Structure 1
Amino acid sequence: MMMEIVLSEEKAEINNIDINECYNKIDKYFISRGVRKKALGIYEGTNKDFSTFACAQTGFPNSEWFLKVVEKWYCWYEGDTIEYREDALESYYRIKNRYANFFKKQKSN
């Protein structure tokens, strides 16, 4: 189980956000929960860390800064090879759009 997060220096500069502070917040989240940092923005856990990774996927986009600076965001849960990698950023926006359309239809009914 792994997560890779790449933040954009350009987006950070445009939004007046310190990219190093963002990486430090992400590090703190994972390391405080016992997940190993492999490299900048890359975190590796075991099956017991599933909830930590799932909470990151739902929680990070709710922060004031994450979506403003994230460039790439990948998760893989069933192995450590690229074939299992999921584009978490694409998934986030697809699901967000689906729910927005659902609630829009509910209001029009």
Structure 2
Amino acid sequence: MLMEIYLSEEKAKKNNIDLNECYQKIDKYFKSRGVEIVSKGIYKGVKEDFDTFVIAQEQLPQTKWFLKVVDQWYISYFDDTPDSPEYREDALKTYYQVKEQVKNYVKKHRI
């Protein structure tokens, strides 16, 4: 299981956000749950870390800063290396697809 998070310096400057603080917050989350930090923005877990990765995938977009600075975001639930594209999912694309589906459902059903 692997999560790759690449934050944009350009977006950070535009939004007056400190990228180092962002990475520190993400690192703290994963480190406190025993997930290995492979390198800046890359987190490697095992099957037992599944919940940790799912929570991160749900919670990161809910922060005030993440969507303002994220450039690329990938997750692999079935393999542990970023060079396994058959299992690598674009988490940012998935987030926006789900958001659009919910928006359309709510609009259609006037919830």
The DSSP-based 3-state class of the residue aligned with 1:30 is helix
Q: Which runs of 5+ in 2 are unaligned?
A: none
Identical aligned pairs, as a percentage? 57
C-alpha RMSD of matched pairs (Å): 1.0
How much does 1:82 deviate? Answer: 2.7
**Per-residue deviation, residues 15-36 of structure 1 (Å, max 9, x unmatched):** 0000000000000000000000
Q: Distance in 1 between matches of 2:35 and 2:85?
A: 19
Q: Give the TM-score taking structure 1 as reference length.
A: 0.97
Aligned equivalent of 1:88: 91
Q: Which has the higher helix share?
A: 1
**Which residue number corresponds to residue 19 of structure 2?**
19
Tell me, in whole angstroms, the C-alpha distance in 2 between the residues paired with 1:65 and 1:44.
23
After TM superposition, the structure 1 = structure 2 runs for residues 2-81 of structure 1, keeping only pairs within 5 Å, are: 2-80=2-80, 81=84
Match of 1:82, SS state, is: coil
